[in-house]
Amino acid sequence: MNKEVDAAYDYQVPLITGKPTFGWITEKVSSIVESKTSKEWALLFGLASSVMLILLGSIGYLVWEGIGIWGLNVPVGWGWAIVNFVFWVGIGHAGTLISAILFLFRQKWRTSINRFAEAMTIFAVICALIFPGIHVGRIWAVYYFFPVPNQMDMWPNFRSPLLWDFFAVGTYFTVSFLFWYTGLVPDLATLRDRAKTTIRKKVLAIFSLGWRGGNKQWKHYELAYMLLAGLSTPLVLSVHSVVSTDFATAVIPGWHTTIFPPYFVAGAIFSGFAMVMTLALIARRVYNLEHILTLTHLENMNKIILTTGMMVGYSYSMEFFISWYSGNPYETFIFMQRAFGQYAWAYWIMVSCNVFIPQLFWSRKIRRSIPAMFVISIFVNIGMWFERFVIIATSLSQDFLPSSWDYFSPTIWDIIMLVGSFGLFFTLFLLFIRFLPMVAMAELKGVLPQADPHHAHEGEAH
């Protein structure tokens, strides 16, 4: 067995390379937040927020004109808006998975990436939540979804998966946010203590909720953190399972399948990890975090990408097998159409990006090559967007009666809103890395050798 790979699962081997001290970590992470705004950041922020403004403007136009500005038609009633929604919800999976499930499994290597993976989750879910909100025909009536007793005597239909969706994503967002914020509290207190100006001190004092780092506080904190982790864990599995029921409970061939919940969850983790990877590689480079975010971390993530990618690939082949095995002519037809019909180009982009390309991670060299993993992670993101597109557009465009078949083509507004959602995402993300510690300092210190009373002499070889 490779020693270094082994090491990742053994916290006795340093997860942080170099010889960091507690003070070094505090300094390293806090200085990013406390230093002056760099030109690069300002430039990136300007770019991202401009793109975000385009999104907001086009939403305004959408509300003014109606959703006819998109390329939707009658067989294809859902288009890019829902594709984007499922895509962003999927991205939002990695954060909580890293934080919660890996935390419960005591995977200490998560500490370097969990903070911004969680932040990414929250921002991705914000991006996701925009789309179901604006894709309805009458946005001003969206409150009909809420189960609020009212004088109109209206009540939502709890048989509709859209409503389950609404609750599932809402719950996920709330719990993820709480989880992220709870983890932030000790670090916010650190920043507060380092603050130079009164206003900064006071603002941080409010947000750090009076954290003093006392023994009791730590005890409660750790318990709360673990409980939240326990609470989040089923959510990671449930959100995308519920999102998948939007499709799985429908009668439309290509949607009506029981494989969807696990298939969607695997896809979500897959795409989420790819997105964490993309972002982590950039942050690591820009802020020189090579010692904190080590190649070992990245390699571990690549292994997860490889695993989930193969789960997704298995689902693709299983769908095909079942469509043939079921003997349902409509089902068989739609899958043949996916692979060889009018949307074959989208299908093969999806398969190439999600199944073929991640196979490169079988090679250790590629697993540990920063440029390779960066490119692959972007391919995976593209592939996963196309997966949702393939599921939604191909199934709807050719359902039971050939008379109503039609082809979906996006308009400029579809494209603008997808691009704009990235603007929103990066705006939030840039704000986050500028103003909040992007690495969980307190947790990171916990995995340093000197934090372990039994390893007084860190770095000694086994």
Interface pick for other proteins out of 162, 209, 419, 451 (rule CB under 8 A): 162
Q: Near other proteins by CB under 8 A, which window of 59-67, 175-183, 285-293, 347-355?
A: 59-67
Residue type, 208: S
Q: Quick one: 35 or 404, whose CB is closer to other proteins?
A: 404
Is 402 one of the binding residues for other proteins (CB under 8 A)?
yes
Q: Is the dihedral of CA 9, 12, 17, 20 positive or negative?
A: positive
Q: Give the separation between CA 202 and CA 206, rounded to whole angstroms.
A: 6
Q: Near other proteins by CB under 8 A, which window of 161-169, 236-244, 281-289, 346-354?
A: 161-169
Question: By rule CB under 8 A, what string of x and - marks binding of each residue 65-84 to other proteins?
Answer: xxxxx-xxxxxxxx------
Terminal-residue alpha carbon distance, the chain: 15
Q: Quick one: 12 or 404, whose CB is closer to other proteins?
A: 404
Please, what is the angle between helix 412-435 and helix 39-65, to 10°?
Answer: 140
Question: What is the CA angle 167-116-104, rounded to 5?
Answer: 70
Interface pick for other proteins out of 107, 160, 307, 369 (rule CB under 8 A): 160
Interface pick for other proteins out of 5, 126, 203, 252 (rule CB under 8 A): 252
Asked if residues 94 and 411 have their Cβ atoms less than 8 Å apart, the reply is: no
To other proteins, the closest distance from the beta carbon of 348 in angstroms equals 23
Q: Give the separation between CA 171 and CA 114, rounded to whole angstroms.
A: 20
To other proteins, the closest distance from the beta carbon of 238 in angstroms equals 18
Asked if residues 101 and 233 have their Cβ atoms less than 8 Å apart, the reply is: yes
Is 405 one of the binding residues for other proteins (CB under 8 A)?
yes
To other proteins, the closest distance from the beta carbon of 159 in angstroms equals 5
Interface pick for other proteins out of 43, 56, 104, 154 (rule CB under 8 A): 154
To other proteins, the closest distance from the beta carbon of 56 in angstroms equals 17
Is 250 one of the binding residues for other proteins (CB under 8 A)?
yes
Is 372 one of the binding residues for other proteins (CB under 8 A)?
no
Sort 258 into a burial class: Cβ within 10 Å, 0-12 / 13-18 / 19+. Answer: exposed
To other proteins, the closest distance from the beta carbon of 146 in angstroms equals 10
Is 396 one of the binding residues for other proteins (CB under 8 A)?
yes
> How many residues belong to the site for other proteins (CB under 8 A)?
51
Q: Quick one: 166 or 273, whose CB is closer to other proteins?
A: 166
Q: Give the separation between CA 426 and CA 37, rounded to whole angstroms.
A: 16
Is 137 one of the binding residues for other proteins (CB under 8 A)?
yes
Q: Give, as ranges, the residues between 106 and 135 that touch other proteins (CB under 8 A).
A: 135
DSSP string, 48-82: HHHHHHHHHHHHHHHHHH-GGGSS--SS----HHH
**Which of 85, 380, 354 has its CA nearest to residue 242?**
85
Asked if residues 406 and 76 have their Cβ atoms less than 8 Å apart, the reply is: yes
Residues lying near other proteins in the complex (CB under 8 A) are found at 64-69, 71-78, 135-139, 141-142, 144-145, 154-157, 159-163, 166, 246, 249-252, 329-330, 333, 396, 399-407
